Homo-oligomer: A and B are copies of this chain.
Amino acid sequence: MKLKKKERPCIRSAAGNDYTLMGKLWIEGREGTFLGHGRIALLERIKQYGSISEAARSMEMSYRHAWALLENMNRQARLPLIETAIGGEKGGGTRLTETGEKAIAFFKELDKKFERFLSMEAKRFDF
C-alpha cells in the first residue's frame, strides 16, 4: 500500500455544517519531530516484515531514509523502539521492542481520541 501525498495521511478532518475542521498531531523530542503518522506507519511495517529494507520497500521509501528515521526515533526515545538482531537463522532482522509496541499503541489511541475531539467540535459550528 503506497501512501499518496494528496491523501494527506497525517491530517485528520471532521466535516460540519458548511465547514470542515482539520487537525494534525505529532510528538516532538529533543531533536524535533519524534513520532508522527509516517513514523508510526514505518514502525508498523517493521513489525510486519521484521526487516528495515522490506518495510521501506513496502512504503516506497528508500532504505537510507527509513534507517535515518528509525535512528532518529531510537535516539530520542527514552528506551529504544526497535532492536536489530545480529546473525541467527535468518541473518538478523529488526524487530520492535516492548517500548516500540507501546509507542504505536499510544499514538493510535491518541489519534482515535483526536478524531472524536474533531467530530464533536465540528458539530458546534455556529457562524
> CB within 8 Å of B: which residues of A?
13, 18-29, 34-35, 76-79, 81, 99, 102-103, 106, 110, 113-114, 117, 121, 124-127
Contact = CB atoms under 8 A, between A and B. Distances in A.
Q: Which of A19, A76, A106 has the most CB of B within 10 A?
A: A19
Contacts of A126: 102, 106
B127 A77 contact: yes
A127 B97 CA distance: 11
Contacts of A114: 23, 117
Of all A-B residue pairs in the complex, the 8 with the closest CB atoms, nearest first, are A102-B127, A103-B127, A20-B28, A24-B24, A23-B25, A18-B78, A19-B27, A99-B127
